Amino acid sequence: MMLLMHLCGVYLDLFISALSNQYYVLPAAGHTQGLYTYLGMPINWQGYMYVSGLCLAGVSILGCFENRFTAVFFIAFSIQIITPICAIIGPVGYIAFACATSYFDQALNNIFVNVIAFYGPI
């Protein structure tokens, strides 16, 4: 179960950082650059794979907590889960703030997209 959680996290990290670099220009759509774009994969498929990767990572984390044998590693799992959540709360908060107030700052947008892409080395 831990291996599955690790593989889902690795896939999500690689997808965000190398396979499909997604640049969002709010309030418009986005632009992707990466291996999938270079190979000619449509953007809507990349978006589907991104959402699926997020769901797989979330389900694998829940599955890992369902496993009763991992109670000893609860602190390590908590750290592994809190780090990506903290890296995602900032960008999601900015998107909500930008949509609510109609204030779009490209510098903050770029910073938060990079935070999501580079949370792995943190």
pLDDT in tens, 15-54: 887 887 776 666 666 677 888 888 888 888 888 888 888 8
**Pairwise pLDDT comparison (119 vs 62), residue with the higher score:** 62
pLDDT in tens, 58-115: 888 777 777 666 666 777 777 777 877 777 788 888 888 888 888 888 888 888 878 8
Residue 66: Cβ within 10 Å count: 9
Say how far apart CA 4 and CA 17 lie, in whole Å: 20
DSSP character at residue 16: I
Please report whether residue 55 resides in a domain: yes
CA distance readout (Å), 55 to 52, 63, 87, 92: 5, 12, 17, 16
At 120 the pLDDT is 62
At 24 the pLDDT is 66
Would you place residue 116 in the very low, low, confident or very high pLDDT band (cuts 50, 70, 90)? confident
Whether the per-residue pLDDT at 122 is higher than 60: the answer is: no
Q: How many domains does the chain have?
A: 1
Please report whether residue 122 resides in a domain: no
Note down the domain range covering 31.
2-117
Whether the per-residue pLDDT at 117 is higher than 80: the answer is: no
